[in-house]
Structure 1
Amino acid sequence: MRAARPAGTAALAAVLLAVAAPAPAAGPGTHSVVTWGASADRLGDGVPDRAYRLVLRTSAGGDGLRVRLSNAFGDRPLTLDSVWAGTQDTGARLVPGSNRRLTFGGAPSVRVPAGATLWSDPLPGRLPGGANLVVSLHSPDAAGPASGHGMAMQTSYTAEGDHGGEESDEHWTGRTGSWFYLDAVAVRTPARTGAVAALGDSITDGWQSTSDLNRRWPDYLARRLQQAGSDVRGVANEGISGNKVLADGAGPSALNRLDRDVLSLPGVRTVFLFEGVNDLKAHTGVTAGDLVDGYRQIAARAHAAGKCVVGATIAPFKGWGEWDADAEAVRQEVNTFVRTSDAFDAFTDFDRVLRSPYDRERMLPALDGGDHLHPNDKGMQAMADAVDLTALQCGDPPA
């Protein structure tokens, strides 16, 4: 890769979000960093008087936890009158004493305008990295398009009525595989700590990895960063299944969601761009030049925002029903650009990591999730292991 340009257990869980001494006031030596992210899309119509208990896996540890509520696809204001953060014990049950109410401008409820996102006040106490955070929220009057992330690869829970303040699982009898009305969580960290946002499609979203075990490739990357003691600790998974670089469809295109889903997240130092296969296999006449232009626009906008950009080659997908020789030719041309262009600060060669040595157009069977497009758990780990951690540093961290 080219060098970057300058620029749990119950014992552990019991201490998460515990009521402790107030978090220190923010100062020149600290800043906010995203510890979890999931791009929002439209999830159908909201249901009034329904509560959601959303299970999330953090990456960067820190204090002053804040959550970002999303009504990005709503056509009317959204009232959330009960939002809580705690720590998962098992299932929908929380560790006793860990659940605390979040506020918004000091108030226990908030009204999120149509099309908007909104951050909570910081919550005193420290949250470790690699924790199973649980955010519970309730809307008395949800209606119209609901915003959230459809393919969570994680079991969360639902209840009728407001039971967010309860730590038991008694009323949380429903299950959902989506995250509703929430698209980011941030913590306060030392100023040298940064984050990487992975802008991608269903491969980044984790399809074909094992649900509830956090085996998406960004999860493996977060664990590598933690173990390496890197200054980049936050990892935001901004993948949407079916997403394209150039055209809206399964969520807004990467070009159209870049600002909200990536550049607006606090502490992001590096944008990791891994998209394009859906543009190719859709057979809409997208050329290599079209995709390259899209990549260049994303990189330029990220650079203008002071971020580094790591590009990734498009992985092989021969055997998938929409593969053909024309799409393969475009893929090869685009990958040559990724490997040789100065548009990116660095690149990761996912094509080389995943392809079979016997058929370079096809994924290695041992890494194939079974559909010849999405890697399995081993493939996800191989992808994360291929990322040069030093390329995510983006030069020297802030003083």
Structure 2
Amino acid sequence: MGSRSARAAACAGVVAALVAGVVSGSAHADLERVERSRWTAAWAASPVVGGPNPHNDCPSGGAGLTDRTARNVVFTSAGGDLVRIRLGNAFGTTPLRVDRTTVAHQGGGAAPVPGTTRAVTFGGSREALVPAGGELLSDPVLLDVAALSTLLVSVHFPGPTGPLSNHPFTAQGNYLAEGDRTDDRTGEGFADSPCWLGVSGVDVAERGQRSAGAVVVFGDSITDTAASTDNTNRRWPDFLARRLAARGGRTPSVVNAGLGGNRLTADREGEPHYGVAGTTRFARDALGQTGVRTVVVLSGVNDLSFDATADELIAGYRDLIAQAHRRDVRVVGGTIMPFRTSFVWTPEREATWRRVNAWIRTSGEFDAVVDFAGAMAAPGDDALLDPAYDRGDGLHPTDAGTEAMADAVDLRLL
């Protein structure tokens, strides 16, 4: 077993045995070692508590869902020939019952590509209980997935679920249907849904190959969706994934841990649909991703809108850095982008912004820095978002802006 090829063959054999459901006894120790080196997160959705959302009609509140199927549309940044699904119940107070889950390649709309639908099991069973406050990882599924693929992950909830943890802002049309439609091959009878429900992540693996790891991009709406065009995967982490994939060979995946409206240093009181503070969710949403090796942090403009001080923001960044370094994960700091013509701006907030960005650039406390502020500024005015990238609110970038953000990242940092 000393050669690389022998080790790869042994790894492939263990995973094949797992897929066949025959791993037991001491083989589990070998499997655990294989799993740690093999899998990487290819997609994830940072969750918020279920409840009313004034910005969309995500059906996550009240009694939640009963006898309905959520068909989630997800864009994977990496590929492989094995897939596993993570079901999420991060804010649930009781176990979440799921009785059927499938994964398939997306054809058109809610319809899968013929012949690609696969049943997903959990410990060999189609039924699963997702623990309150946690996640549940599926068994490996044999499915060839290329990098930059779009999958349909369908989850049936017999319900009632109660308030359902979800990701509310997606820049992606998703689907809902009555009854168990997880095996549906037509896509007919599905209604539109604005949010991701039930699924919190997708991991991929290539048999016989080690994972290249994951880069997690952590932030707010500018990372989550910005003003990118719906159903086109033009968020800035998507463009970053395309840049990495274009290099060829083994490259890290890119996982979007953005959350619209999220603050770094504090919860938004009375607005739970914006999620808990970044310093609180960082351990789950960033460091909890399979294979994470580097996190890029771009967060803080929402804190400025609540008049956070420079010292408070710097303390928040130091908190993230300490959390990551305890897990041997690198942290790349992103400077906060210009916002002079947005609702956030005041002279006092601009002064705080300048102090915070100077600290990010010069303190040396991050492992590396991406100067988004410099890359996205208007010529001749460093506090103004370049009009070529501005959707019109002085804060959120368009598709051209999100591509420019991705282009500002030196890939050697990742």
- Does the C-alpha gap of structure 1 residues 368 and 40 become closer, same or farther in structure 2, counting only changes over 3 Å? same
Q: Partner residue of 2:115?
A: 97
Comparing 330-339 and 230-239, the one that deviates more: 230-239
Give the Cα separation in 1 of the matches to 2:283 and 2:81.
25
Could you tell me which amino acid in structure 1 is paired with residue 112 of structure 2?
L
Task: Find out whether 1:37 has 2:55 as its counterpart.
Answer: no
Residue 219 (structure 1) aligned with residue 243 (structure 2): no
Partner of 1:153: 171
After the TM superposition, which segments of 4 or more aligned residues of structure 1 sit over 2 Å from their partners? 21-30, 189-192, 229-233
Q: Secondary structure at the match of 2:180?
A: coil
Highest RCO, 1 vs 2 (Cα 8 Å, sep ≥ 6)? 1
Of residues 187, 190, 195, the one that matches 2:204 is 187
8 Å contact kept, 1:23–1:64? no
Match of 1:241 among 233, 239, 260: 260
Alignment of 1:1-399 (within 5 A): 24=16, 28=34, 30-44=37-51, 45=61, 46-172=64-190, 174-189=191-206, 190-229=209-248, 231-249=250-268, 250-283=274-307, 286-392=308-414
Instruction: Give ranges in structure 1 of 5+ residues lacking alignment.
Output: 1-20, 393-399
Q: Which runs of 5+ in 2 are unaligned?
A: 1-12, 18-30, 52-60, 269-273
Q: What secondary structure is seen at the aligned counterpart in 1 of 2:228?
A: coil
Q: CA deviation at 1:22?
A: 11
What is the CA–CA distance in structure 1 between the aligned matches of 2:388 and 2:189, rounded to whole Å? 42
What is the distance in 2 between the residues matched to 1:240 and 1:124? 31
- The separation in 1 between residues aligned to 2:384 and 2:322, in whole angstroms, is 32
Aligned to 1:3: none
Give the drift of 1:232.
3.5
Alignment TM-score, normalising by the size of structure 2:
0.86
State the Cα distance separating 1:142 from its structure 2 match.
3.1
Deviation at 1:230, TM superposition (A): 6.1
Per-residue CA deviations over 1:195-237 (Å, capped at 9, x if unaligned) read 1001100000113110100000000000000001364431110
Counterpart of 1:171 in structure 2: which amino acid?
G
1:282-301 CA-partner distances (Å, limit 9, x unpaired): 23xx2111111110110111
> Retained in 2: the 8 A contact 1:276–1:314?
yes
How many angstroms apart in 2 are the aligned matches of 1:288 and 1:149?
29
- 1:41: how far off? 0.6
When residues 24 and 52 of structure 1 are mapped into structure 2, their CA distance, relative to the original with a 3 A threshold, is: same
Q: Tell me if structure 1 keeps the 8 A contact 2:39–2:211.
A: no
Number of equivalenced pairs: 369
Q: CA deviation at 1:94?
A: 0.8
Return the offset for 1:52: 0.7
Offset from partner CA, 1:165-201 (integer Å, 9 cap, x none):
11111221x1012100111110124325111001100
SS of the residue 1:93 aligns to: coil
Q: Matched residue of 2:107: which SS?
A: strand
Q: Secondary structure at the match of 1:279?
A: helix
Amino acid of the residue matched to residue 239 of structure 1? G
Q: How far 1:361 sits from its partner (Å)?
A: 1.2
Task: Give 1:38 shift.
Answer: 1.2
Normalization by structure 1: what TM-score?
0.89
User: How far is the alpha carbon of 1:322 from its aligned partner?
Assistant: 2.7
| Structure 1 counterpart of 2:10 | none
C-alpha separation in 1, matches of 2:192 and 2:277: 29
Q: What's the Cα RMSD here?
A: 1.7
